[in-house]
C-alpha cells in the first residue's frame, strides 16, 4: 500500500481523551502519531462524532475524523502537533500556545488561512 501521509508517524501507546461537544469525554489511546494526525483506539460502543477535541500529554487540538472502524479512528489535527511546545508548527506560524490552551491570535491566524 502506498503511504499517503505527508509527515512520518511513530508508533506509541499514550492515554488520551476524546472530548465531543456537549457530551462526556471518552477515554482513548493514541496508537500512532504524526505532526498532522493520529490513530486512536477507544471503546467501540461509544458514539464518536466527526469532530471533537483530543487531549494527551498536555496537548489539546480540534480534530476531524478521516476514517473509523470498530474502535479505531484516524484523525487529522486542525492545529499541527509539535513535540517541543516552544517550537512553532510552521515557520511563519504564531508561537505554540501554552499546553491545553489556544491563543486568540493563533486561532485568528488559523481561521484566516482556512478562508483564503
**Topology annotation, domain 10-115:** Thrombin, subunit H (2.40.10)
> Which residue's C-alpha cell is 460502543?
45
The yes-or-no verdict on residue 58 having pLDDT over 60 is yes
Predicted structure pTM score: 0.63
**Per-residue pLDDT, 65:** 95
Are 64 and 73 in contact by the 8 Å Cβ rule? The answer is no
Mean pLDDT of the chain: 75
pLDDT higher at 38 or 79: 38
- % of the chain with per-residue pLDDT over 90: 38
Asked which of 12-16, 34-38, 112-116 is least confident by mean pLDDT, the reply is 112-116
Tell me the pLDDT tens digit for each residue of 79-113: 877 765 444 344 455 444 444 444 445 545 555 55
Return the domain boundaries, the chain.
10-115
Q: Find all residues with CB under 8 Å of 28, minimum gap 6, and list them.
A: 15, 16, 17, 18, 40, 41, 42, 54
Terminal Cα-to-Cα distance of the chain (whole angstroms): 33
Task: Quickly count: other Cβ atoms within 10 Å of residue 21's Cβ.
Answer: 8
Amino acid at each position: 500500500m502506498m503511504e499517503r501521509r505527508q509527515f512520518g508517524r511513530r508508533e506509541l501507546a499514550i492515554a488520551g481523551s476524546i472530548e465531543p461537544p456537549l457530551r462526556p469525554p471518552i477515554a482513548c489511546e493514541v496508537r500512532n502519531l504524526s505532526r498532522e494526525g493520529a490513530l486512536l483506539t477507544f471503546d467501540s460502543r461509544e458514539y464518536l462524532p466527526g469532530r471533537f477535541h483530543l487531549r494527551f500529554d498536555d496537548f489539546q487540538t480540534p480534530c476531524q475524523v478521516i476514517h473509523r472502524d470498530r474502535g479505531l479512528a484516524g484523525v487529522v489535527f486542525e492545529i499541527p502537533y509539535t513535540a517541543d511546545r516552544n517550537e512553532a508548527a510552521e515557520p511563519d506560524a504564531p508561537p505554540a500556545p501554552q499546553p491545553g490552551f489556544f491563543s486568540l491570535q493563533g486561532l485568528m491566524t488559523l481561521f484566516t488561512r482556512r478562508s483564503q
